[in-house]
A and B are shown apart, each in its own frame.
Chain A
Amino acid sequence: MPAKTKTTGSGVRPLAPAAAGLAGQAVGSMLQRLFPTTSATGRALRLAGLTAGVTGSYVGYMAQRLFLGEEGRDRKRRATHAKAGRQIRDELQLLRGPVMKFGQTLSLHTDIVPEEVLAELTKLQMEAPGMHPSLAVAQFKASLGRSPDDVFKSFDPEPFAAASLGQVHCAVMHDGTRVAVKIQYPGIRAAIENDFRWIRNMSLPAQASGHLSKAMLDEMESQILAETDYVREADHIEFFRAGLKPLEFVVVPEVCRDYSTDRILTMSVVPGQHLDAFLAKRPSQRLRDLVGSRLLELFHFQMLSLETLHADPHWGNYLFDDDGTIGLIDFGCVKRFGLDFVRSLCKGFLYPGRFDSPEFKGIVQGQFRGPGGTLPAGAWRVITDFAERFYRKVYPPDPKDAARPFDFSDAGFLRDYLRAAGNLTRAKASTPQYIFHSRAEVGLYTTLHRLKARVHTSAIVRRLMAAA
């Protein structure tokens, strides 16, 4: 029997709530139109405008839902989320830089953000508006002191890929080598400090409740800030190029230091295509399994052998070739975990015993709180639930199950992961290190799911753990 619905009649909208929503949206729109995106005040006011606009939509929805039936309420809620998502995405695209990066980070936290908002935020991953050719060339000249036409045999002023903090152009060196030239959007570093000042102020309630710690914000800021230094990124590329040599199926670009600065990064072109283009060619199940297995191996190899992760997990940063080769192309966000974190992770992975045992409790304690720290009781329950529902299912510890691959095509595993990760955040058990690990894991599992790959997960991890 359908639920009894409360309605004000077809098409009748209560005036007061609609007015409240409209007022918020009007204030937001006014602030956004009046203020530029450059100065600290301008950016803060535009963001305030965005907040007012989004809040206006929600105030309108919350008031209207009192008068709507269950079905109407659900429809209205979805429409409000979608509208808010669009508003947020459009504004973040305009502001670019760190706030957009923050939006990208949020888009990975499916536990925090509603599905409809998420759909819009996900578009930020690939749809960053670019610099026009004149600006890109001017920025190149300002950074390197020479114009691209003086440096390269040819340079394409139109970008072929976008990044949140810059964009990538194709060029040919005088010896005929094709290179990718990443050019950073000007003034991005100054914008980071402004944006984080705003984010810190806006998130005060979340900080007070303990859901977002100062340490997490500090970590996020320093990581995003670090991404603006292309000299550092060039160091990362060289680190991974050397470290990933044992994995023959991985291609890491070669940096051309002569034509790189802190704002320009010139590197060799990596073959392959993005996931969408790769999947559009309808690769065989065998190839998808091969690529999936390699992706999983790449992830755990980085963790176990390099203690470092290429932690920007969206699939725009991977290229897939028809022979199963995987190319890595963005090294802005790299996280070094250190031996202690990796050791405690190893102890928990493929743990065969009971999750309520003191031994497992000790492992978890070390992983989430470090020696001597104590986990809240709620957090403890959430972690064991996570281990039981997700890790034991995806990585069966019993060697007898090793012959059976895990099928990532089932969306249920991803939902389990995201729900459990969300519970972990709500239970205040997250640590800055865990956030990055989890961010990279979400990227990995989402890609494996899109590949519909079948992977011998435990066998791969067991082999790598033995080698490490």
Chain B
Amino acid sequence: MSRILSKSTGRRALKKETTRSRIVAAALALFQVKGFEATTTKAIARKARVAEGTVFNYFPTKEDIALHFLEQEVEHAMAKVRANPRLRKAPIEEKLFALVQTQLEFLAPHERFIGAAFVQALKPGSKLGIFSPSAQELQYRYLAFVQELIDDAVRCGELTAAGWWTPHVFWVYYLGLLLYWLHDASPGKQQTLAFLDRSLKIGVAVLRQK
């Protein structure tokens, strides 16, 4: 009996997850083409082939969809860095490079939407803004991972001048880099790659000094 119950719960959870993914995919496609502001929940529901009420059941606002996507992005990047055995022995600048680069690759197909989300985050009361509890929770998770990488580097004697503030500085750097990436018109975002590589090297060199 319990096996039948858990089987049906599992199926329900899977169905829910599929619907959630469908809504997110539909929303992202529309954000990219129409823009964040111009996309309506009605259009998202139509594209995802669900009722408009279903969209609200999963995501009360469009910002919740955006937040969910950003959460996926951060989780994906952290998992990728963790899963790469070669990176375990790599210098800290390469680990941080791999983390940011994986994030950028994830964001690349949705560039237009990221630009809009950036602007949206600056609006007072926005769920994407730095003072919103949900965005802060995501930010802390990300910073905890960065701190983890930095702690490893400190333990190995790679960094000597890092402190509690280092992940926060990295966060500000990341936001700046994201802006740079959004405005980079070079083929294959060459300038961003070069900037990311060189600026991380310089940053780490500063943190190496006693």
Contact = CB atoms under 8 A, between A and B. Distances in A.
Nearest to B87: A134
Nearest to B188: A142
A134 B98 contact: yes
Given A36-B198, A132-B91, A133-B94, A138 B101 contact: yes
B90 A134 contact: yes
9 contacts: A38-B191, A132-B94, A134-B94, A135-B197, A138-B101, A142-B189, A157-B86, A190-B186, A191-B194
Contacts of A37: 198, 202
Given A132-B93, A134-B101, A142-B189, A36 B194 contact: no
B129 to A, nearest CB: 30
A372 interface: no
A187 to B, nearest CB: 3
Interface residues of B, number: 22
Interface of B: 86-87, 90-91, 93-94, 97-98, 101, 105, 186, 188-191, 193-195, 197-199, 202
A186 B202 contact: no
Contact of B97 (A132, A187, A188): A132
Nearest to B191: A187
A360 B67 CA distance: 80
A139 interface: yes
Interface of A: 36-38, 131-135, 138-139, 141-143, 157, 185-191, 263
Contacts of A141: 105
Contacts of A190: 186, 190-191
Contacts of A189: 190
B193 A139 contact: yes
B23 to A, nearest CB: 29
Nearest to B206: A33
A435 to B, nearest CB: 30
Given A36-B202, A134-B101, A138-B101, A186 B86 contact: no
Residue in B105, B189, B193 whose Cβ sees the most chain A Cβ within 10 Å: B193
Contacts of A132: 90-91, 93-94, 97, 197
Contact of B197 (A133, A142, A186): A186
Contact of B199 (A36, A143, A188): A36
A430 to B, nearest CB: 34
A38 B195 contact: yes
A95 B195 CA distance: 12
A263 B199 CA distance: 22
Contacts of A135: 94, 97, 193, 197
A38 B194 contact: yes
A215 B31 CA distance: 52
Q: Which 6 A-B pairs have the closest CB atoms?
A: A187-B194, A142-B188, A186-B193, A186-B194, A132-B94, A134-B98
Contacts of B202: 36-37
A431 B194 CA distance: 35
A143 B193 CA distance: 12
